[in-house]
Amino acid sequence: EAKVQGRGILRFSSPGMTTRAKERLSLEADLRLALDQGELSLHYQPQVDLISGQIVGLEALARWQHPTRGMVSPAAFIPLAEECGLIVNLGHWALQSACRQIRVWTDAGLAPRQIAVNVSAVQLSRGDLLESVRLALKESGISPDQLELEITESFVMADRDRSFKAIADLKALGVRLSIDDFGTGYSSLAYLQQLEVDKLKVDISFVRDMTRNSGNASIVKAVIALGHSLGLEIIAEGVEEAGQARYLRSLSCDVMQGYLISKPLPAEEMTCFLHAFAPQLVPVDNAGSFTL
Ligand code: C2E
Ligand code: MG
Ligand code: MG
Ligand code: MG
């Protein structure tokens, strides 16, 4: 059975298909159009230095404003895009848009040191990630060290030879690399010292209960100590409370990101935010506490 639906796409379904499978197929078809129709955008979330209180980076996070479903979470559409291969185009679009945007902020004198873009292992296995990054840098004219790529442990472990080579090639281009959601994946610590990454992002799940759960606090402390001993910068995600920020600072964590500072914002709102809070966002008093 094939029928033309609302958005002019031919969709195939068979009587045997579950509602869930049909729903997925329909979302996938919409996602194919979403890129061309400008329904995807990037929101930006600040990353703040725990000592100076300055915004040192912005993470670009994809958003999908669907015409009838409303805002679809990246937690739903990124895995879908990875499964159907669309992540290659979507990933290139994200790199290109983020690089263009930091160029705009650089020209306006508002840009923090760098912009971080999430990249998927599928961009490596089914696309040409290196070429995509090279193009985005060339087209925007930004300096390569203004771009940071957030990879996950699965990116590293999927095909080790290939990902080690890709990471070395990316580093040779001059971009910076961080490992996202660190500690939640499945990777060997032995690889960490061979990988040419610059930064570890402590996963939100460890940060969340850190001040109440001593197990999580121990994990956060261990990640910071491990990272620092390997010469890596540490950034904590999901910081929502001033107490968490103070605690992270006491542990010598370098940078924080989370709702405490700001939710991810559309580019225009982030421009206002950068204007309002530059150059110093979080005043830190002599006792080392945040006066938010
Ligand atoms: P992530 O890269 O680990 O991003 C952090 C997630 O935590 C984001 O969710 C962000 O909005 C959320 N977050 C930030 N601060 C807080 C906080 O204080 N509290 C809480 N509860 N959450 C916070 P988001 O935007 O829904 O993105 C989810 C995931 O989707 C990202 O996780 C990333 O893995 C993926 N993603 C988003 N955009 C892209 C993209 O352009 N490409 C790829 N490959 N993946 C993307
Ligand atoms: Mg990320
Ligand atoms: Mg993360
Ligand atoms: Mg994540």
Q: What is the pLDDT of residue 2?
A: 45
CA-closest residue to ligand 1 atom 37: 61
Angle between helices 74-84 and 19-36 (to 10 degrees): 90
User: pLDDT class for 286, splitting at 50, 70, 90?
Assistant: very low
Dist. CA 18 → ligand 2 center (Å): 33
Q: How far is the CA of 182 from the centre of ligand 2 (A)?
A: 10
Better-predicted residue by pLDDT, 195 or 263: 263
Pocket of ligand 1 contains residue 146 by CB under 6 Å: no
136 compared with 196, residue with greater pLDDT: 136
- For residue 8, pLDDT over 50 is answered with no
Instruction: Look at residues 290, 183, 275 and name the one whose alpha carbon lies nearest to residue 239.
Output: 290
Q: For the chain, what percent of residues have pLDDT higher than 90?
A: 72
CA distances from 102 to 45, 172, 273 (A): 13, 21, 14
CA of 57 to the centre of ligand 3 (A): 15
Distance CA 59, CA 187 (A): 23
Q: How many CB atoms lie within 10 A of CB 78?
A: 20
CA of 3 to the centre of ligand 1 (A): 35
Is residue 121 within 8 Å of residue 152, measured between CB atoms? yes
**Cβ of 244 less than 6 Å from ligand 1:** no
Chain segment 118-134, per-residue pLDDT in tens: 999 999 888 899 999 99
**Residue that wins the pLDDT comparison between 289 and 248:** 248
Mean pLDDT along residues 233-259: 96
Residue with more model confidence, 149 or 10? 149
Q: What was the pLDDT predicted at 7?
A: 54
Q: Is 167's C-beta closer than 6 angstroms to any atom of ligand 1?
A: no
For a substitution probing ligand 1, which of 45, 59, 61 has the most ligand atoms within 8 Å of its CB? 61
pLDDT in tens, 174-225: 999 999 999 888 777 888 888 899 999 999 999 999 989 999 999 999 999 9
Q: Which of 53, 75, 99 is nearest to 256 (CA)?
A: 53
In this prediction the pTM is 0.92
Which residues does 161 contact at the CB level (< 8 Å), separation at least 6? Answer: none
Element (H, E) at 168: helix 160-173
Output the CA 130–ligand 3 centroid distance in Å.
22
By most ligand atoms within 8 Å of CB, the mutation choice from 80, 205, 235, 237 for ligand 1 is 237
With a threshold of 0.95, tell me whether the complex ipTM lies above it.
Answer: yes
For the stretch 13-71, pLDDT in tens is 667 778 888 888 888 999 999 999 999 999 999 999 999 889 999 999 999 999 999 99
